[in-house]
A and B are shown apart, each in its own frame.
Chain A
Amino acid sequence: MKEKLEEIKTKGLGKIENIKNITELEQVRKDLTGKKSELSKVLKSISDLSSDEKKSIGMLTTEIKTSFIEKLKLKEEELIASLSVLEEPIDLTIPGNKVNEGALHPITQMRNDLNDAFLSLGFEVYSEDDISSEKYAFDNLNFAKDHPARQSMDTYWLEGTENKEGAEKLCLRPHLTGGSVRYLQKHGAPVRFVYPGGAYRNETTDARHERAFFQYEALIVDKDISFSSGMVLIQTILEKVFGRKINTRMREGFFPFTEPGYEIDMECLVCGGKGCKVCNHNGWIEVMPGGVIHPNVLKSASLDPEEWTGFYINIGLDRLVMMRYGVDDVRLFHSADLRFLKQFK
């Protein structure tokens, strides 16, 4: 009897070992541990044996059954682990499906980055309209009466107004600065705000010059602040935009609406300040002019220059974006060319 049981055990374990799938497993489970299994038959046939023998055979049978159950469980786990939802393996190198396309213009992306940075410093966002007048584009900003920028070679005047003067002579704004006086007239001081937008100048275009371009200007007007605070602002902004500290230098510059005025150069990111074609071999790129707001500009905004002061910074958005990506032709920004725009996700 014992030999028979040993045989059942060996055969049974062998069967379990050879199971290929879950269906087979269920069949084998039934065959080995079910009511009609050989083990059950053995148990049924031992009723005429002595109680001692009954006991030992019974124990042996139970032991074999337990080992079957354990083995089956292991086998089941093994089989489930090797199951797949796929009928057959798939090509893992086929590219995934495309996501929704579409993107903001790189200029807008930069503008948003700057807006976020300035917002965290308590600046409001303002936007002036594209069409302004000589009064706001030049007179209020302390431009001399016969300043060359007022000429039609430089500024786009509107037909029918080009021979008028001041508030009646209209133009596409040649810079954003005129908006500063509009805002100050409306809101007074102290105040800090940014005003991004497009500016337009009658120029011959090439890879570095455009008739329509983007600026981003910021102005703080307050009491007792010094121009040296401008430096902090600029460094904060550049660090935010480029994600790391950028070397800058501040040098003499002249603008009618500032006194003193300065130019802010950043190290050329193309050559790391060593000097290359992009930076005209001097390692620095002019990115933002700025300066202390001229007393005459404050006066045109009805603010007392004895009481108030402040400073501008004006960021050339086109140039900053060109630096960020290494874009080599400024005209691409207005090209509406998807081959270009699709590069900025």
Chain B
Amino acid sequence: MRVSLNLIKKYVDLPKDLTDKQIAYDMTLRTVEVDNVEDVSLKYHDIVVGKILEVKKHPNADRLKICITDIGEDKPVQIVCGGSNLYEGEYVVVSKPGAEVVWHGEGEPVKVKETKMRGENSYGMICAAEEVYLDDFFPADSETEIIDLKGIDCKPGDAIANIIDMNDTVLEIDNKSLSNRPDLWGHYGIARELSTIYNVPLKKLSKYELDKNLPKYNVKIEDTTKCNRYVAVEIDGIYEKESPIWMKSLLSKTGQRPINAIVDITNYVMMTVGQPLHAFDRTHVNGEKIIVRNAKENEELLLLDNNTIKLTTDDLVICDEKDAMALAGIRGGKKDSILPDTKGIVLEVANFSASTIRKTGKRFAEKTDASIRYEKGIDTQRVDEGLSLALELIKEIFKESKIMKYNDVYPNKTKNNEIKVSEEFLDTRLGKKIPKDKIEQILISLGYELSYNKGVYDIIVPTWRSTGDVTIKDDVMGDIARILSFDSFEAKPINITIDHPIIQNDVLLTRRIEEYLSSRCGFYEIYTYPWIDEKYIRAAKIDISKSLKLATPPAPSLAYLRSSLIPGMLEAIAKNVRYYNEFRLFERSEVYQKGDYRPSSNDEILPVQSNYLIGCIVGKNAKEIFYEAKGVIENMARYCHMENIKLEKKEKPNYADINAYLNITKDDEIIGSFGLLSVQTMSDAKIKRTNVAIFEINSDKLNAYASRTNKYERLPELPLVEKDLSILVNKEVEWKTIEESIKSIVKEIEFVDEYKGSQIPSDKKSITLKVKMINESTTMTSEQINEKINHILKALNKKCGAELRTE
């Protein structure tokens, strides 16, 4: 909302030494966020009134004239102008050198310079309305018409900003921060806040007394749950004309386009007190009767542009005897328009329920100034303020107008909320004692009525805050706190009581795993979206029967929520292989599956949600990255201090290569998978010219050790003897068999290397292993070592058919 400080100052005398910036700052801290402070006069700098003294022919151009113009300076100046309505004695608008104008009303503003036009000097320019943001004030009939200030009280040299009341500052308020304050949608409400902040009096709105004996205008409210009050005033002597400059100025500053005097009055009232109004052409109301009712099935409303909108039985409409004239509180139809033949109006000042307006407004996507206000919840008493101001303005602008009929149908009155607030409550919650007179000043200034008795305030909330905004004592406390400014409260220390240790092993384990992967194993952490592209679901061959979908997804192909982190990772890999040949990524996020999960209450059944951990190693050499990734999984338990996990071949993951996959298990339960991406999956995911080893674990199944559990081992007193042995075995013999065959006869056994190739028979492979041996009580002699080695080789030969490889 745009707020004119000039209009605010009509209702409250702000302290003299305040800057506009300070006002904006104080309001931001205490009431609503001011986004911008705009000096609206800036657009009009160096634009002044000029009086044309003489109009001469231009020697070199037929369409141009030379105007000798008095612009209030020592000497008249010469200005070249192409205007079609120039005459001697005309008062015009002159942009002096330095002013900014918009050529033909289009594009960015340009700085005016003293220049020569076809050989003749021109000191600035005589302007058309659209060139200097004045088309709202002086609408032109043709493109070549310049502004003629005839009839306006002014003299040469007067700043145009003064003439059109633009020496003003506009505060731009963030509408979102106003959403819970229906009282602030008019200038008067803002003025009330400022009067409280600066502790200065708020001027009362004037009251227009209506003649009690006026004949009744016929009004019928059919649905009183939706319309709380309807005032109709029939006024004659109203016709289409322009409104005065001061009114156009206010509307223009607050972002409304001036249209004609009667429409402008309704908008002016709305901007001032926040009450929307509506004017119907009196002669358009068939049967001189207004009916407020729900629309009929398939009923239509004819709009000014001859389009129609379809209504439903939920929509509230304002009708005459024949048909709908307006969508209540939202927009008018063709019937209510003020046209050149208008002679009188029926003025509507009404209150509609917020939920009705919200419901109907939602269906017609467009919000109007009226509907924005109604849907916040306005008090019914505001009708009186709107009506008084409107009638006053009509009397002033249409001097000959006459009120003919009147009616006020008022089924529901906004009731004042009543709240008890104790001093003790305020003291504790505010954290300090606020003097009683300060509390009273703030609350009374905001419109509360209060009486005090034995430490308790009985508070009557003003109606404009009683439509949902202020309902409990905490709301009252909030009002006091914000007006004092949150910043004015001393920050109070928080005590820490140490009565139990914070032990959250799962939180710590998550962190250890993340750090293990990133710092020790060289993975980069990523986050992907919970909705995933179907393309990658297909590539990963994920069964979607248990997947969940979004009702309104970000894009049609992104409707599925992830049940696995694989598809998201495939997408991440596909993106990054464009820039990198080798990399490692991991993610820890939640995945979701249809199911029955009740974390908090029995009536809330959520899908099953689990934290998954995924990691991948991307590189050219498939075998190498497989073993790299295997090492990452195998060492995780030891480095992250958690219960052991195993790798076993049980069932093939859908994404995995037929020859390279394992399952991750814990206590015989499969909790994850590991493998190389299959050729098919990589091709479907458009991962080209590389290989990927990938693992995924349900990390909720991992169990942290409560403390570190390994025991210290005494250092050996005798030296360990190490020997590397290269053996030849048949290709299909697995390392595990080799290891098992001699595990019991050596201290330690380690895999060193595997070789297949031209130097050995094609059905064989060479395995190099390291054995470590030690004697119980004495250092091993070379004879003992040889004996042991022979023993080992015999065992290897017997169980695996191994032969010692000879070079």
Closest A residue to B584 by beta carbon equals A102
A228 near B492 with CB under 8 A, answer yes
B474 near A125 with CB under 8 A, answer no
What is the minimal beta-carbon distance from A311 to any residue of chain B, in angstroms? 10
A103 near B524 with CB under 8 A, answer yes
Q: Is B477 an interface residue (CB 8 A)?
A: yes
In the assembled complex, which residues on chain B have CB atoms less than 8 Å from the CB atom of A260?
A: 474, 477-479, 481-482, 486
B491 near A228 with CB under 8 A, answer yes
B28 near A226 with CB under 8 A, answer no
What is the minimal beta-carbon distance from B641 to any residue of chain A, in angstroms? 18
> Would you call the interface of chain A mostly helix, strand, loop, or mixed?
mixed
What is the minimal beta-carbon distance from B46 to any residue of chain A, in angstroms? 25
B474 near A133 with CB under 8 A, answer no
Q: Is A34 an interface residue (CB 8 A)?
A: no
Q: Please report the C-alpha to C-alpha distance between residue A227 and residue B548 in the assembled complex, in whole angstroms.
A: 41
Given known contacts A226-B430, A259-B475, A121 and B592 CB-to-CB distance under 8 angstroms:
no
What is the minimal beta-carbon distance from B466 to any residue of chain A, in angstroms? 15
Contact with B along A11-36 (1 / 0, CB 8 A): 00000000000000000000000000
Q: Which chain B residues (516-531) contact chain A, with CB distance < 8 Å?
A: 517-530
In the assembled complex, which residues on chain B have CB atoms less than 8 Å from the CB atom of A262?
A: 482, 486
Q: Is A280 an interface residue (CB 8 A)?
A: yes
Q: Please report the C-alpha to C-alpha distance between residue A312 and residue B486 in the assembled complex, in whole angstroms.
A: 15
Given known contacts A103-B518, A229-B491, A254-B177, A185 and B600 CB-to-CB distance under 8 angstroms:
yes
Closest A residue to B574 by beta carbon equals A336
Given known contacts A122-B497, A131-B606, A158-B550, A251 and B492 CB-to-CB distance under 8 angstroms:
no
Q: Which chain B residues (464-501) contact chain A, with CB distance < 8 Å?
A: 468, 472, 474-475, 477-479, 481-482, 485-487, 489-494, 496-498
A200 near B494 with CB under 8 A, answer no
**Interface pick from A57-65, A72-80, A83-91, A104-112:** A104-112
Q: Is B673 an interface residue (CB 8 A)?
A: no
A159 near B559 with CB under 8 A, answer yes
Count chain B residues whose beta carbon lies closer than 8 angstroms to a beta carbon of A: 92
Closest B residue to A281 by beta carbon equals B36
User: In the complex, which of the residues B181, B550, B606 contacts A157, with contact meaning CB atoms closer than 8 Å?
Assistant: B550
A338 near B580 with CB under 8 A, answer yes
Q: Is B180 an interface residue (CB 8 A)?
A: yes
Q: Which chain B residues (528-567) contact chain A, with CB distance < 8 Å?
A: 528-530, 548-554, 559, 561
Q: Please report the C-alpha to C-alpha distance between residue A338 and residue B599 in the assembled complex, in whole angstroms.
A: 36
B519 near A102 with CB under 8 A, answer yes
Q: Please report the C-alpha to C-alpha distance between residue A1 and residue B305 in the assembled complex, in whole angstroms.
A: 137
Q: Is B785 an interface residue (CB 8 A)?
A: no
**Interface pick from A2-10, A45-53, A231-239:** A231-239
B521 near A124 with CB under 8 A, answer no
Q: Please report the C-alpha to C-alpha distance between residue A121 and residue B493 in the assembled complex, in whole angstroms.
A: 11
Number of cross-chain contacts by CB at 8 Å: 241
B496 near A122 with CB under 8 A, answer yes
User: In the complex, which of the residues B515, B524, B601 contacts A338, with contact meaning CB atoms closer than 8 Å?
Assistant: B524
Q: Is A245 an interface residue (CB 8 A)?
A: no
Closest A residue to B491 by beta carbon equals A231
In the assembled complex, which residues on chain A have CB atoms less than 8 Å from the CB atom of B519?
A: 100, 102
Q: Is B758 an interface residue (CB 8 A)?
A: no
Q: Is B35 an interface residue (CB 8 A)?
A: yes
User: In the complex, which of the residues A129, A226, A334, A342 contacts B527, with contact meaning CB atoms closer than 8 Å?
Assistant: A334
B607 near A131 with CB under 8 A, answer yes
Q: Is A339 an interface residue (CB 8 A)?
A: yes
Q: Is B443 an interface residue (CB 8 A)?
A: no
Q: Is B282 an interface residue (CB 8 A)?
A: no
Q: Is B507 an interface residue (CB 8 A)?
A: yes
Q: Is A186 an interface residue (CB 8 A)?
A: yes
Q: Is A68 an interface residue (CB 8 A)?
A: no
Contact with B along A239-261 (1 / 0, CB 8 A): 00000000001111110000111
Q: Is B31 an interface residue (CB 8 A)?
A: yes
Q: Please report the C-alpha to C-alpha distance between residue A250 and residue B601 in the assembled complex, in whole angstroms.
A: 36
What is the interface residue range for chain A against chain B? Answer: 35 or more
Q: Is B712 an interface residue (CB 8 A)?
A: no
Q: Which chain A residues (184-210) contact chain B, with CB distance < 8 Å?
A: 185-186, 198, 200, 202
In the assembled complex, which residues on chain A have CB atoms less than 8 Å from the CB atom of B437?
A: none
Closest B residue to A107 by beta carbon equals B527
Closest A residue to B602 by beta carbon equals A167
A172 near B530 with CB under 8 A, answer yes
User: In the complex, which of the residues B490, B554, B559 contacts A228, with contact meaning CB atoms closer than 8 Å?
Assistant: B490
What is the minimal beta-carbon distance from B242 to any residue of chain A, in angstroms? 37
Q: Is B131 an interface residue (CB 8 A)?
A: no
Q: Please report the C-alpha to C-alpha distance between residue A253 and residue B482 in the assembled complex, in whole angstroms.
A: 9
What is the minimal beta-carbon distance from B433 to any residue of chain A, in angstroms? 12
B481 near A227 with CB under 8 A, answer yes
Q: Please report the C-alpha to C-alpha distance between residue A135 and residue B598 in the assembled complex, in whole angstroms.
A: 13
User: In the complex, which of the residues B355, B481, B525, B568 contacts A341, with contact meaning CB atoms closer than 8 Å?
Assistant: B525
What is the minimal beta-carbon distance from A150 to any residue of chain B, in angstroms? 11
What is the minimal beta-carbon distance from A47 to any residue of chain B, in angstroms? 56
A167 near B604 with CB under 8 A, answer yes
Closest A residue to B37 by beta carbon equals A282
Given known contacts A159-B550, A336-B575, A129 and B429 CB-to-CB distance under 8 angstroms:
no
What is the minimal beta-carbon distance from A208 to any residue of chain B, in angstroms? 15
Closest B residue to A182 by beta carbon equals B600
What is the minimal beta-carbon distance from A32 to any residue of chain B, in angstroms? 44
A125 near B493 with CB under 8 A, answer no
What is the minimal beta-carbon distance from B467 to any residue of chain A, in angstroms? 12
In the assembled complex, which residues on chain A have CB atoms less than 8 Å from the CB atom of B41?
A: none
B487 near A251 with CB under 8 A, answer yes
Q: Please report the C-alpha to C-alpha distance between residue A103 and residue B523 in the assembled complex, in whole angstroms.
A: 6
Q: Please report the C-alpha to C-alpha distance between residue A95 and residue B633 in the assembled complex, in whole angstroms.
A: 32
Q: Please report the C-alpha to C-alpha distance between residue A97 and residue B515 in the assembled complex, in whole angstroms.
A: 22
Closest A residue to B494 by beta carbon equals A229
Contact with B along A134-154 (1 / 0, CB 8 A): 011000000010100001100
Contact with B along A154-183 (1 / 0, CB 8 A): 001111111000111010100000000110
A170 near B601 with CB under 8 A, answer no
Q: Is A288 an interface residue (CB 8 A)?
A: no
Q: Is A315 an interface residue (CB 8 A)?
A: no
User: In the complex, which of the residues A102, A112, A185, A212 contacts B522, with contact meaning CB atoms closer than 8 Å?
Assistant: A102
Q: Please report the C-alpha to C-alpha distance between residue A122 and residue B177 in the assembled complex, in whole angstroms.
A: 34
User: In the complex, which of the residues B474, B521, B530, B559 contacts A295, with contact meaning CB atoms closer than 8 Å?
Assistant: B474
In the assembled complex, which residues on chain A have CB atoms less than 8 Å from the CB atom of B30?
A: 251-252
Q: Is A71 an interface residue (CB 8 A)?
A: no
Q: Please report the C-alpha to C-alpha distance between residue A31 and residue B31 in the assembled complex, in whole angstroms.
A: 101
In the assembled complex, which residues on chain B have CB atoms less than 8 Å from the CB atom of A263?
A: 33
A104 near B525 with CB under 8 A, answer yes
Q: Is A294 an interface residue (CB 8 A)?
A: yes
Q: Is B56 an interface residue (CB 8 A)?
A: no
Q: Please report the C-alpha to C-alpha distance between residue A303 and residue B653 in the assembled complex, in whole angstroms.
A: 48
A102 near B530 with CB under 8 A, answer no
Q: Please report the C-alpha to C-alpha distance between residue A103 and residue B33 in the assembled complex, in whole angstroms.
A: 39
A105 near B527 with CB under 8 A, answer yes
User: 17 A-B residue contacts at CB 8 Å?
Assistant: A100-B521, A124-B504, A131-B607, A144-B468, A156-B550, A162-B552, A172-B530, A186-B600, A198-B527, A198-B530, A198-B589, A212-B530, A226-B489, A231-B489, A251-B28, A254-B180, A309-B429
A-B interface, 3 closest residue pairs, ranked by CB to CB distance from nearest: A226-B431, A260-B478, A231-B491
Known: A226-B432, A229-B491. 16 other contacts (CB 8 A): A103-B525, A104-B525, A129-B606, A130-B592, A157-B552, A211-B554, A226-B428, A227-B429, A229-B431, A232-B492, A251-B29, A252-B32, A254-B179, A295-B472, A336-B528, A338-B576
Interface positions of B (Cβ within 8 A of A): 28-33, 35, 177, 179-181, 355, 358-359, 362, 428-432, 468, 472, 474-475, 477-479, 481-482, 485-487, 489-494, 496-498, 502, 504, 507, 511, 514-515, 517-530, 548-554, 559, 561, 568, 571-572, 575-576, 579-580, 583-585, 589-590, 592, 599-601, 603-607, 609
Interface positions of A (Cβ within 8 A of B): 100-105, 107-108, 112, 115, 119, 121-125, 128-133, 135-136, 144, 146, 151-152, 156-162, 166-168, 170, 172, 181-182, 185-186, 198, 200, 202, 211-212, 220, 224-229, 231-233, 235, 249-254, 259-263, 280, 292, 294-295, 309, 333-339, 341-342
